[in-house]
Amino acid sequence: MSPCLRVLAGPSLTSLVPITDIVNTSTSHKILSDVFEGEVSVHIKDFTDEHGIVRQSDYFSREDRQGITWSIQVCGRFLVSYCADDVLFGNTFDRPLTMPWGSGAALKFMQYIDPTLEHDLLSPTKPWALSPLISTMPHFAHKRIEEGRSSNRDQTSGACLTIKSQNLVGDEYTDELYLASTTIDTPGSSSSSSPLSSSSSLHSDLTNGGSTIIVNSARRLKKRKKQGEAGASSNLRFDNASQRRQYFSTEAHRQAIQFGPEDVISTDFCYGFLEFQPSLSLRLPGGITFDLMRYWDGQPVRFVCCERKDSNSSNEEGWGRVFWCVVIEMV
């Protein structure tokens, strides 16, 4: 019998509400806190809800989503500025995990598809596995909205609707991402070369004065607008997810991006290696399959977007403040 699932979402681990009734529908759930506002929608192939009712989704019929078994889509913006290297996405747990035989192969597979993955899954307290959001997401879109407008919340919804209606996530829309860069590329200047060719000097700048760059990011973005933007957009425009993920696998490139209230981000975290139906299982290339039900101790599958933990923090968790969270649990 297929396991029945319940899905919850919210702006923190302690502020979750059930969203099971909108899974596999076109309806999204609003998320709002003092640092993030947006909306989330969840799709699970052959989803069986807590009442035993099976719901399908047209999402899995899309040509560009063949082989996908689950999807978590989030669109929104940070209400305060965050460096892209400090915005992480992944899984966190409340107690130690029982790792199955062969789990080393699974970890190697995960780090193969995401070289920026960091984890402490063997933690005796609270295991975790997290990656920078900008480099781990299979699908990513960014859109800049007008700053200083009282209707920013409406602009967020409008930008999210535009991204969805134009399928910009699937098209890897990054044409306006350069506006979130903290480095200045002015037309005709010696610094107008692509960040790919100046990564060493950028790394030096960030290493010696990264905090200054971050603090002054808003001022520098305004300066960019005054100096002109011709040709700058090509520096951070990617034709596909592979180009984006490869570029942002470099720490310095992530540190040079600052997401703030004017940056609406839309992501789709979707894969086919984790199956919830007909049972919870992990399928790896080469025919390797793990029946996760044999090792499941009742912990929910928890996906979080959070801040990188401060190196000076004494908290036992391996992560910082949570921006939003989606939980999938069996009932």
Secondary structure string (H, E, C) spanning the chain: CCCCEEEEEECCCCCCEECHHHCCCCCCEEEECCCEEEEEEEEECCEECCCCCEECCHHHHCHHHCCCCEEEEEEEEECCCEEHHHEEEEEECCCCCCCCCCHHHHHHHHHHHCCCCEECCCCCCCCEEEEEHHHHCCEEEEEECCCCCCCHHHHHHHHHHHHHHCCCCCCCCCCCHHHHECCCCCCCCHHHCCHHHCHHHHHHHHHHHHHHHHHCHHHHHHHHHHHCCCCHHHHHCCCCHHHHHHHCCCHHHHHCEEECCCEEEEEEEEECCEECCCCCEEEECCCEEEEHHHCCCCCCEEEEEEECCCCCCCCCCCCCCEEEEEEEEEC
Alpha-carbon span 23 to 41, nearest angstrom = 7
pLDDT per residue as tens, the chain (331 positions): 567 889 999 999 999 999 999 999 999 999 999 999 999 999 999 999 888 899 999 999 999 899 898 999 999 999 999 999 999 999 898 888 777 666 677 778 778 888 999 988 888 889 898 999 999 999 999 999 976 553 556 777 777 766 665 666 666 899 999 999 998 443 333 333 333 333 333 333 333 333 333 334 444 444 444 444 434 455 788 989 999 999 999 999 999 999 999 999 999 999 877 777 666 676 655 555 666 666 567 788 899 999 999 888 777 788 999 999 999 988 8
At 311 the pLDDT is: 80
Residue with tokens 């910009």: 168
Distance CA 87, CA 82 (A): 7
Name beta bridge partners: 289: 283
> What distance in Å separates the CA atoms of residue 143 and residue 97, rounded to the nearest whole number?
38
| pLDDT score for 127 | 87
For residue 64, which phi and psi values (nearest 5 degrees)? Answer: -85, 10
Phi–psi pair at 159, nearest 5 degrees: -65, -40
CB atoms within 10 A of CB 202: 19
Structure pTM? 0.79
Residue 195 pLDDT: 35
Cα–Cα distance between 83 and 80 in angstroms, integer?
Answer: 10
Distance between CA atoms of residues 249 and 196, nearest Å: 12
Confidence (pLDDT) at 317? 84
Domain ranges of the chain: 5-146+164-182+233-330
The answer to whether the peptide bond before residue 127 is cis (omega within 30 degrees of 0) is: no
Q: What pLDDT score does 310 carry?
A: 87
